[in-house]
Structure 1
Amino acid sequence: MAVREIEPVVLELDRLEQLAETGYYNPYSMFDWPDAIEPGMPWMSESLTTLAGTPAWDELTREQQIALTKYESINFFSLNIHGIRELLGEVVNRIHAKTYADVSEFLHHFIGEENEHMWFFAQFCLRYGGKLYPAQPTLKADSVDHLSPLARELIVFARILIFEEIVDYYNAHMATDKSLPHIVREINRVHHVDESRHVAFGRMIFTNLLGQVARRDADEVPVVAEYLENYLQYSIGTLYNPAAYRDAGIPDALGVRRRALEHPSRVEAHDAVLKRTRRFLTKSGVGREAVK
């Protein structure tokens, strides 16, 4: 990481730092972990499952539907764990670089909170699901290897931001879904509160780095835009885990995944998940329309 080529990132973070300090909680004592999840209750909002709105959902027995919510909840939390682990590595590697000296204080809060998120997501998966799903292959940035270190730095923080915004869409919905067990709602609620700060920070640092890229070499902007569009699609695809279908007793898992991803109702659902992020990227000048 050639941070020497990047201008110092200076942001106004007093409010976010104050919120992090005043909103501090002890995750190791705040959750009331039940011995088991109530039988017959969905573990994920049914409208958020990857088969919602498709013929495949209607073809499932009620037992299979509940099982799918269970395993897709485990997959969702597993994705959070793997995503957090990746972003923590990126942030730790930068926390004391001169480029990020002005934001280092907030990054310490960020690292602490994300580590705690990783802990409680794993607690849920291991207590009630007995496992984590393995990390899925990541979308490589090979296509942008020729870009400047500054543009590649922008992509690192853009990936973190996109990951957090997609996750927060699900958290915000499930935090208030009364059909879900209390522990599921509570985990999503707590994460949503913290992620609101992280998303705000992510947008600020993204805007700063994008401005630097645009000033230094505007031709790199559409290349970044194309990569981010691909990353949005990749991120949505990770929610469709064939292993979760198999665990729910659904045959032809790969075929089910392929048909679900292409179904009009799911495409519409993806647009809803990505609406806020796309609007931000468009306003920033790296939306789909910026792709050459």
Structure 2
Amino acid sequence: MTVAVEPQSPRQKLNDREDVARRLLASAARKSYDPLIEVDWEAPVDHSTLYGMTPEWCSLYGTELWDSMTQEQRITLTEHEAASISATGIWFEIILMQMLIRDAYKQDPASPHFQFALTEIADECRHSTMFAKAAEHFGIPNYRRPWWVELLTRPFKALASGSLAFGGTLAAEEILDMMQRDFMKDDRVQPITRTVSRIHVLEEARHIRFAREETKRIAAELNPVRRAMTRLTLAITVYMVVFCLVNPKVYEAAGLDRREAVRAARRNTFYNDRKRNGCAKTIEFLDECGLVGGPGAWLLRRGSIM
């Protein structure tokens, strides 16, 4: 027997959105962390036995090149890849904050939706500071994106809104989340990396829920033309985030030949499968929202994202 479900009215949708925001505000009041206090920034760094991140997430893990490396090189490489991932996180969180501010600018300040948007912006400010201090603590330089990535993402950060903004946010945040859930539980990893990852995972759970709800709500109202444009732009955004996770300069820091290491990483089926499996839930959700398809799907497959 099929039960007919009446579509929600605009007022019902608005109430649902505000209810979600209200619950997320309550969660933020119960569980928020100040990394300047929660992280022991004076803790010594063990460069001889502990990795900078879970080694299985290293772009060279499982390759012949990884097998030929010394333990010191492996530790150095994981430290620098962790710093590169954090730099990418800072970059996209700054973009995210700009999009959230634009969204909040149009909202009613008395609404829970507006108030949680500001709460998330405050969280992201702390997270970016936390990632920056972690890189400073390990004495690792800032790994910037290629100039062409910076150029191509300027229109996105200046203009992105709606399902494109929240869909892009969701994909970028969940990519970091899937890695850090392993980092925070791994006893082989530096204590500061584990603490930073734990704080980020716990607080990002709220941000991911917020982004999923907004993506689903806005995507349902897209017309065919806007949906096709969103699919392509979203795929480009996700591809760039994944592409920028590991700056090729990290290989030189570990004493490796840069070109040889880049080739090995690109062909590393273990790493590519790990990325693909980690992104599976995000891609499945975006597909359910009608935001995966067309030329963008080819780009996602090329980036080992789906």
Normalised-by-shorter TM-score class: 0.7 to 0.9
**1:239 aligns to what?**
245
Aligned length: 277
CA contact (8 A) 1:36 1:128 kept: no
What is the identity, as a one-letter code, of the residue corresponding to 2:115?
A: E
Check if 1:54 corresponds to 2:36: no
- Between the aligned partners of 2:173 and 2:110, the Cα distance in structure 1 is 23
**1:34 aligns to what?**
42
TM-superposed deviation, 1:61: 1.9
**2:118 aligns to what?**
108
Residue number among 220, 226, 229 corresponding to 1:220 in the alignment: 226
Q: Which moved more, 1:230-239 or 1:187-196?
A: 230-239
TM-superposed deviation, 1:100: 8.6
List per-residue Cα deviations over 1:39-72 (Å, max 9, x = no partner). 3210110000111122221122222111101101
What is the identity, as a one-letter code, of the residue corresponding to 2:84?
A: N
Q: Which runs of 5+ in 1 are unaligned?
A: 1-6
TM-superposed deviation, 1:254: 3.5
- Between the aligned partners of 2:161 and 2:204, the Cα distance in structure 1 is 24
TM-superposed deviation, 1:117: 0.7
TM-superposed deviation, 1:256: 2.3
**1:16 aligns to what?**
24
What is the identity, as a one-letter code, of the residue corresponding to 1:172?
A: R
What is the identity, as a one-letter code, of the residue corresponding to 2:152?
A: K
List per-residue Cα deviations over 1:116-138 (Å, max 9, x = no partner). 11111111111222432224424
Check if 1:166 corresponds to 2:171: no
- Between the aligned partners of 1:130 and 1:230, the Cα distance in structure 2 is 29
The within-5 A match list for 1:60-75 is: 60-75=69-84
CA contact (8 A) 1:94 1:100 kept: no
The within-5 A match list for 1:199-278 is: 199-213=208-222, 217-251=223-257, 253-278=258-283
What is the identity, as a one-letter code, of the residue corresponding to 2:93?
A: I
TM-superposed deviation, 1:141: 6.7
Check if 1:181 corresponds to 2:190: yes
TM-superposed deviation, 1:291: 5.8
Q: Sort the Cα spacing of 1:223 and 1:107 in 2 relative to 1 into closer, same or farther, 3 A.
A: same
What is the identity, as a one-letter code, of the residue corresponding to 2:79?
A: K
Check if 1:92 corresponds to 2:118: no
SS in 1 for 2:131: helix
TM-superposed deviation, 1:142: 9.8
Q: Sort the Cα spacing of 1:258 and 1:153 in 2 relative to 1 into closer, same or farther, 3 A.
A: farther
CA contact (8 A) 1:158 1:228 kept: yes
> How many percent of aligned residue pairs carry the same amino acid?
22
CA contact (8 A) 1:42 1:69 kept: yes
TM-superposed deviation, 1:78: 1.3
TM-superposed deviation, 1:167: 0.7
SS in 1 for 2:256: coil
CA contact (8 A) 1:222 1:291 kept: no
Query: Scaled by the length of structure 1, what TM-score is found?
Result: 0.85
Q: Which moved more, 1:181-190 or 1:128-137?
A: 128-137
List per-residue Cα deviations over 1:245-277 (Å, max 9, x = no partner). 1111111x1442244223322321221121111
Query: Scaled by the length of structure 2, what TM-score is found?
Result: 0.81
Q: Sort the Cα spacing of 1:165 and 1:262 in 2 relative to 1 into closer, same or farther, 3 A.
A: same
Q: Sort the Cα spacing of 1:77 and 1:274 in 2 relative to 1 into closer, same or farther, 3 A.
A: same
Q: Sort the Cα spacing of 1:141 and 1:62 in 2 relative to 1 into closer, same or farther, 3 A.
A: closer
List per-residue Cα deviations over 1:5-30 (Å, max 9, x = no partner). xx998313221110001113333222
